[in-house]
């Protein structure tokens, strides 16, 4: 477990990843990632990962049906898919296979794949 920060000039202590998985990915994280925000460690790793062409990246959003109707979501999904991210979200498109948003206030963490 890491408990100290390292300087940018210091080497990484972990091996390079074989893939990136963002799950569960909230609407907040998902849309910030698509917009290129890197204001948390998780977002920094995800945004940087888009620039690593060899790195398979998958995200499984965990959002409710009301959040899925937010007008920014289709753009964020399209942006991340265009960048090569496998977005596992049933959004009604031909690429949209995966998680189907649950009704508001009825999320079941046990039903989340």
1 — pLDDT class (breaks 50, 70, 90): very low
8 — pLDDT class (breaks 50, 70, 90): confident
Assigned architecture for domain 28-113 = 3-Layer(aba) Sandwich (3.40)
pLDDT in tens, 50-72: 998 789 999 999 999 999 999 99
What's the pTM?
0.82
- Round the average pLDDT of the chain to a whole number and report it: 86
pLDDT in tens, 14-24: 788 899 999 99
- For every residue of the chain, which 3-state class applies, written as one string? CCCCCCCCCCCCCCCCCCCEEEEEECHHHHHHHHHCCCCCHHHHHHHHHCCCCCCCEEEEECCEHHHHCCCCHHHHHHHHHHCCCEECECCCCCCCCCECCECCCCCCCCCCC
């Amino acid at each position: 477990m890491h408990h100290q920060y390292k300087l940018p000039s210091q080497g990484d202590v972990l091996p390079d990843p074989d893939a990136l998985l963002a799950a569960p990915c909230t609407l907040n994280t998902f849309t910030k990632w698509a917009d290129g925000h890197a204001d948390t460690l998780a977002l920094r790793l995800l945004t940087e990962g888009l620039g690593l062409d060899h790195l398979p990246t998958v995200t499984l959003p965990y959002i409710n049906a009301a959040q899925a109707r937010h007008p920014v979501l289709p753009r964020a999904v399209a942006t991340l898919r265009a960048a090569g991210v496998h977005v596992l979200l049933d959004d009604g498109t031909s690429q949209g296979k995966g998680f189907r948003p649950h009704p508001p206030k009825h999320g079941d963490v046990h039903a989340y794949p």
